[in-house]
Amino acid sequence: MKFTKDDSQNYNCCTDFSDSILRYLNEDQKMLLEVEKQCSVHKKNDIVYHEGNKPHGVYLIEQGVLKIYKTGNDGREQIIRFAKKGDLIGFRSVISNEVLCSSAKVIENCRVCFISANVFLNFVKENSEFSMQLIKLSCKELGESNKFIIDLALKSLRERLAEVIILLTDTFGLDAENFIQVVLTREDIANIVGTATESIIRQLSDLKREHLIDLKGKRIKILDLNKLRKISGL
């Protein structure tokens, strides 16, 4: 389990919360946060937190991409979702005061801002607007998780892969050439879709053969989003 922490903590980061839930903190809380926050930098494959451990606090993603996943008994991992700039992670376990039920691993080098459990819980207790927004956030995530359950239970591999490609497109956007702006291994994709790496490779080349996507190494280029949407059953 690798863990890298940059020494230069608490340099001037996280000063802009405008696109995160922290924008709902009041002025006093924002000032407190400036003092209490602990920023750090993590490299690809670093593990920011690991399931089974006690949560020490929450993390706001300043920059970069992480995967949030759980590991099964046989070691296979299932990716639950991704976190990127502006996302708050780790609050579920802090709120419900349970051990962490998932791990967070860096996919693209990132900068995160740590807020200790105490400080965070006080923010929630003392600020009804913030707590309302946090309920909304957890309800939104709950809705997404429930949708995920349906997908896994009721959809075929092909349908799920099409849906994941759309999800990645929505989450990370496309560049000028219509490539999805994130680089994942085939194994990562398999671990989102919930299948074997080889199966993903076969399904991807099917989609390429049908001219719905194109493949350049690990990068995926979107050719026909509408047909993908149709396949995914949305």
Residues near DNA, by CB under 7 A: 156-158, 185-187, 194-199, 201-202, 204-205, 215, 217-218
Q: In the bound complex, what is the minimum distance in angstroms from residue 95's beta carbon to DNA?
A: 33
Q: For a copy of itself, which residue of 15, 18, 27, 74 counts as binding (CB under 8 A)?
A: 74
Binding partner of residue 215 among a copy of itself, DNA, none, CB under 5 to 8 Å per kind?
Answer: DNA
Per rule CB under 8 A, is residue 203 in the interface with a copy of itself?
Answer: no
SS3 58: strand
Q: For a copy of itself, which residue of 2, 43, 76, 211 counts as binding (CB under 8 A)?
A: 76
Binding partner of residue 138 among DNA, a copy of itself, none, CB under 5 to 8 Å per kind?
Answer: a copy of itself
- Can you list the positions of beta strands (E) in the chain? 38-42, 47-49, 57-71, 77-84, 88-89, 103-116, 213-216, 219-222
Total interface residues for a copy of itself by CB under 8 A: 41
Q: In the bound complex, what is the minimum distance in angstroms from residue 227's beta carbon to DNA?
A: 18
First to last CA, the chain: 38
CB 162 within 8 A of CB 156: no
Long-range contacts of 118-127 (CB under 8 A, 24+ apart): 119/32, 119/33, 119/36, 119/57, 120/57, 120/58, 120/91, 120/94, 121/94, 121/95, 123/25, 123/29, 124/95, 126/29, 127/24, 127/25, 127/26, 127/29
Amino acid at 158: R
CA gap 222, 180 in Å, rounded: 7
Q: In the bound complex, what is the minimum distance in angstroms from residue 80's beta carbon to a copy of itself?
A: 6
Binding partner of residue 99 among DNA, a copy of itself, none, CB under 5 to 8 Å per kind?
Answer: none
Give me Rg for the CA atoms of the chain: 19
Binding partner of residue 70 among DNA, a copy of itself, none, CB under 5 to 8 Å per kind?
Answer: a copy of itself
Q: In the bound complex, what is the minimum distance in angstroms from residue 183's beta carbon to a copy of itself?
A: 23
Per rule CB under 8 A, is residue 98 in the interface with a copy of itself?
Answer: yes
- Within positions 140 to 169, which residues make up the interface with a copy of itself, using CB under 8 A? 140-143, 145-150, 152-155
Q: What is the number of other CB atoms lying within 10 angstroms of the CB of residue 117?
A: 18
Give 208 or 227: the residue with its C-beta nearer to DNA: 208
Where do contacts with a copy of itself occur on this chain (CB under 8 A)?
Answer: 70, 72-74, 76, 78, 80, 91-93, 95-96, 98, 101-102, 124-125, 128, 131-132, 134-136, 138-143, 145-150, 152-155, 194, 233
